[in-house]
């Protein structure tokens, strides 16, 4: 019986293909099997980042999400549907690992920073050797693209999901020294209301698809909520500190 393959979680960066790390690129090109997650009918950002680096002889496995929203009509349950998807996907990857093939699962940004790979890792890492290669995440990419240092000296940085209820967002953002709110999309207007109400409006910065070819940044007040994609961020940079 062959020795099982390794499970590799490769963070491939926020969008610019040149922001993949040397180690992630080496592991990507060496892996006989490459898996990626994507929505129905879409290539997926992670796959688009690495597509030009792949070899023709690699086995490519798309893992297609059955749903992309948490709001499903009853009796459907998002938690049950998505748990079944990850169970099935993990079982599929296990068939390749059992033959001795390393399987690289690519993830936009960093695999352990809101990355979908972590749910496969939770299901497989106890049974197979696993290695996770960190990647440049969206928050630091956005700060660099905006030319906005995130946190000076001893300042604390808070990272929040825009999906949170408005009251909870306001509680968590009150009094922050620096913050990033991710996962915007339809949540943008709610986030903007909170940021403005707390007096952060003038300091806050908006950017979408940081480092991608279609990157766009605007003053917070000028953003049309109907145009905001999921991959967008509101940054509240730390106040400048001069040594």
Rounded to whole angstroms, the Cα distance separating 178 from 152 reads: 9
Helix or strand run (H / E) with residue 205:
strand 205-208
Which residue ranges does the chain devote to CATH 3.40.1010.10? Answer: 7-136
**More confident: 74 or 196:** 196
Chain centroid, CA 169 distance in Å? 20
Question: pLDDT tens-digit profile of 94-123?
Answer: 999 999 999 999 999 999 999 999 999 999
Q: What is the pLDDT of residues 141-174, one digit of tens each?
A: 999 999 999 999 999 999 999 999 999 999 999 9
Does this model's pTM top 0.85? My answer is yes
| Structure confidence at residue 116 (pLDDT) | 95
Q: What is the pLDDT of residue 68?
A: 66
Alpha carbon dihedral 114, 120, 126, 132, in 10-degree steps, equals -50
Question: For residue range 15-35, what is the model confidence (pLDDT) as tens digits?
Answer: 999 999 999 999 999 999 999
CB 228 within 8 A of CB 185: yes
Give ranges for CATH 3.30.950.10 in the chain: 139-236
- How high is the mean pLDDT of the chain? 95
Q: Transcribe 21-32 into DSSP letters.
A: -HHHHHHHHH-S
- Phi/psi class of residue 19: alpha, beta or left (left: φ > 0; alpha: ψ in -120 to 50)? alpha
**DSSP code of residue 151:** -
Where is average pLDDT lowest: 35-39, 65-69, 148-152, 175-179? 65-69
**4: pLDDT strictly greater than 80:** yes
CATH architecture under which domain 139-236 falls: 2-Layer Sandwich (3.30)
* Nearest one of 111, 132, 109 to 23, comparing CA atoms: 132
Structure confidence by residue, pLDDT tens digits, 226-241: 999 999 999 999 999 8
CATH superfamily of 7-136: Tetrapyrrole methylase, N-terminal domain (3.40.1010.10)
Residue 243's pLDDT band (boundaries 50, 70, 90)? confident
């Amino acid at each position: 019986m062959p020795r099982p393959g390794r499970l590799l979680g490769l963070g491939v960066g926020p969008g610019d293909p040149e922001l993949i790390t040397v180690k992630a690129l080496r592991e990507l090109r060496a892996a006989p099997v490459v898996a990626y997650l994507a929505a129905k009918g879409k290539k997926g950002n992670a796959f688009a980042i690495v597509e030009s680096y792949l070899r023709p002889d690699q086995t490519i496995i798309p893992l297609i999400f059955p749903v992309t929203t948490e709001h499903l009509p009853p009796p459907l349950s998002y938690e049950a549907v998505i748990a079944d998807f990850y169970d099935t996907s993990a079982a599929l990857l296990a068939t390749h690992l059992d033959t001795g093939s390393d399987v690289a699962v690519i993830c936009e940004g960093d695999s352990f920073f809101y990355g979908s790979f972590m749910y496969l890792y939770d299901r497989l890492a106890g049974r197979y050797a696993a290695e996770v290669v960190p990647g440049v995440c969206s928050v630091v990419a956005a700060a660099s693209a905006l030319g906005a240092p995130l946190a000076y000296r001893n300042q604390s940085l808070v990272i929040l999901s825009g999906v949170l209820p408005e009251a909870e967002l306001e509680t968590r953002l009150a009094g922050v020294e620096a913050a990033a709110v991710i996962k915007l999309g339809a949540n943008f207007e709610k986030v903007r209301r909170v940021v403005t109400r707390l007096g952060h409006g003038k300091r806050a910065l908006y950017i979408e698809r940081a480092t991608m070819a279609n990157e766009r940044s605007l003053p917070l007040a000028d953003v049309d909520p109907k145009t905001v994609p999921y991959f967008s961020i509101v940054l509240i940079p730390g106040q400048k500190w001069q040594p």
